[in-house]
Structure 1
């Protein structure tokens, strides 16, 4: 938990812009968790308050995405979100996992989350560790590109997370929202084949802090930022 305190300070220092005080606490009253206890505590203590620090310009992109999700659900269709970064190793996986968690928290059915990249590498162990510190249960089967099984709750089906290119199965081929989570992928993929919507919410790569004293705090800060924005997204779907 101490690392999440450090992450909160890092995030507060990095985020600017106007905020609407009290927004995270208001939506928390309608939450339906079903999460692991440690993860539920992380969400209540750190994630929901961090929603207040989301800059207005990022909220506008998240609102576009929330409209997509709501419209798909209202039409009786699955709302498929594919989070994309260059190597599909850190930010895109965090976003995939946190978005699924946020949908469950707010009781939103029909949301399917995926991730991909312009090339495949592996789900970085540092990013995996950051999610474990937040309270996720993660099983690692081993291998060069492990197919991690990530659970946000004891009764939740696991998310299978591994590095892949955007067009690789099980990612959807059409009718999905492409969410660009890094600037490099945003520039490299001005058009994402099959996407019904393309939005850009880039995050600074925590890789910059690898093998430094700031590594844990930087990864936790990025995880917290992504979590707050995914919870904001799903809270707007509930409106």
Structure 2
């Protein structure tokens, strides 16, 4: 009788593996992030089909690297590396940990250097990231914590080809139209995908500022979690 009672559980476990929703190593994410993630997962169905077609190109790259047991290097690129590209990098790292996708390293960069914008930092904090400034100056460095037992991400503005970023065999994800046009070829990128987002900077200093930064943060989070939810991870 015990054998038969275990069968349904075994079948569910096997089904989870086949569907790519196998249990991960249960990385302990920040509590507020978990609540936020539970909300955005409900919005996958709202992503337009033409948008999913572009996002699925990212899925394909990640899946090929996972299957080959190779590092998955993702570099998010926008003009100033101040807002959208940071959102992409942070949410990709978080999604990889959440879904247990191995060997994922996330990066960000711009075609110019500015600073990680304080309004974008505030939006990340509201979503549940723990962020601390670790250096001063016009382009400070921030330590971004999203889970226990994982080294914080050092976030600062840099060019996409900065020495701290991969120089080859990475996926370049263009998060703004301006950078997409300025960099038709990204040196060293194995694949280049354009998923541009509207810039919340347009609302700086307006009554809509906070809402628009939160909106963009949530959109990028939702689409990034959609991507990682489709990656099949073997046990």
TM-score normalised by length of structure 1: 0.85
* Conserved? CA contact 1:97–1:113, under 8 Å: yes
**CA offset digits 1:5-40 (Å, max 9, x no partner):** xxxxxxxxxxxxxxxxxxxxx998957452111111
* Conserved? CA contact 1:28–1:48, under 8 Å: no
Q: How large is the Cα RMSD of the aligned pairs?
A: 1.7
**Residues of 1 paired with 2:199 and 2:21: CA distance?**
29
Partner residue of 2:167? 173
Q: Report whether the alignment pairs 1:202 with 2:196.
A: yes
Partner residue of 1:125? 118
Which of 142, 145, 149 lines up with 2:139 in the alignment? 145
* Conserved? CA contact 2:114–2:157, under 8 Å: yes
Structure with max Cα Rg: 2
* Conserved? CA contact 1:85–1:92, under 8 Å: yes
Q: CA 1:157 to 1:209, structure 2 compared with 1: closer, same or farther past 3 Å?
A: same
**Residues of 1 paired with 2:216 and 2:21: CA distance?**
21
**Residues of 2 paired with 1:70 and 1:234: CA distance?**
9
Which of 90, 98, 108 lines up with 1:105 in the alignment? 98
Write the mapping of 1:32-111 to structure 2, written as runs, cut at 5 A: 32=26, 34-44=28-38, 46-111=39-104
Which runs of 5 or more residues in structure 2 are unaligned? 1-18
**Residues of 1 paired with 2:117 and 2:214: CA distance?**
14
**Residues of 1 paired with 2:69 and 2:142: CA distance?**
30
Count, aligned residues: 213
**Residues of 2 paired with 1:229 and 1:123: CA distance?**
21
Which runs of 5 or more residues in structure 1 are unaligned? 1-25
TM-score normalised by length of structure 2: 0.87
Partner residue of 1:11? none
Secondary structure at the aligned position of 2:216 is classed as: helix
**Residues of 2 paired with 1:151 and 1:61: CA distance?**
29
